[in-house]
A = this chain, B = another copy of it.
Amino acid sequence: MQLLHSQYGKSAVGLLKVFRDGDRQTVREITVSALVSGDFSGAFLAGDNSNTVPTDTIKNTIYALAHDHLDSSGIEPFGLKLAAHFLARYGQFQTVQLQLEEKPWGRMMVDGLPHAHAFQATGDGIRTAVIQARRSHPPDVTGGLQELEILKSTGSGFVGFPRCEFTTLPEATDRIMATRLTASWHFREAATDYPSVASKMREAFIEVFANRYSRAVQETLYQMAELALERVPEVDQISLRLPNLHYFPYDLGRFGIPNDQVIFYPAPNPHGDISATVSR
């Protein structure tokens, strides 16, 4: 028997950092997962932990480094700092994979003005980042966005598909399109402004979703990625997953009420599942 591959670390490390600038405060709440690999065969084969940095230490490190290194430049630079620390500090780590998520706290509007220290969770999706670092190589940085729930009530159809004995789906030229977007974008090299890239990504995705007629979820996905790649030179590859969260017309004709595309029911399971990666 042989150990082909292994990885260990700490997942779901949550932290909130408060930034103070006079009376004005800002918060960032992130969750970090740090998984490392290297030669840990001693632990696996002989219960020898002399190389095994405890996952509790990994957790403490995340909190400690957040104190000085998490800032407005976002989760990617903090992840890079963490990864560099882990590789420098522990010679037995060969690779470090960090997954970071940031909860979307927005400044609360009170009396029409943004408040100095009160915040509300928004629906702007969870910002994500993945840092893949290995010794003697430049780290690999991927930004992302997930849990963004969007829907359009028109501007979408699905026709011209092949039919067979198991096909019962009617064609539709005007249907509801809804999804919970997951996106990730790979940086060709270290970027200077990660939050700005994330904003441009989101804007491109939203703009395509809202403004262009969708003949297939596939087409919309591709156009989202294409527009984002056009606008963001720092990124060389984008992956998108767009589950097709179906809203089907409820058959009211049975009750003498017109089936006029007014009343739909959400059918979360089963759902369509479309994903692709687009590169330059």
Q: Are A222 and B44 in contact (CB under 8 A)?
A: yes
Residues in chain B near residue A123, CB distance under 8 A: 104, 106, 120-124
A167: B residues at CB distance < 8 A: 54, 56-57, 60
- A55/B108 in contact, CB under 8 A: no
Using a CB-CB cutoff of 8 Å, which residues 138-162 of chain A contact chain B? 148-155, 158-162
Across the interface, which residues of B come within 8 angstroms of A51, CB to CB?
162
Q: For A25, what are the chain B residues with a Cβ–Cβ distance below 8 Å?
A: 153-154
Residue A271, interface by CB 8 Å: yes
- Which residues from B are CB-within-8-Å of A247? 16
Say whether B67 contacts A262, CB under 8 Å: yes
Task: Determine if A108 and B43 form an interchain contact, defined as CB atoms under 8 angstroms apart.
Answer: no
Q: Are A160 and B265 in contact (CB under 8 A)?
A: no
Residues on the B chain within 8 Å of A137, using CB: none
Instruction: Categorize the interface residue count of chain A.
Output: 35 or more
A8 CB contacts on chain B under 8 angstroms: 217-218, 272-275
Contact between B1 and A279 (Cβ–Cβ < 8 Å)?
yes
State the A residues within 8 Å of B (CB): 1-18, 25-27, 29, 33, 35, 40, 43-57, 59-61, 63-64, 66-68, 89-90, 104-106, 108, 110-111, 115, 117-124, 148-155, 158-169, 176, 206-207, 209-211, 214-219, 221-222, 225-226, 229-230, 237, 243-244, 247, 250, 252, 254-257, 261-266, 268-280
Additional 5 contacts, C-beta under 8 A, given A1-B230, A89-B164: A4-B278, A43-B216, A57-B164, A60-B255, A63-B263
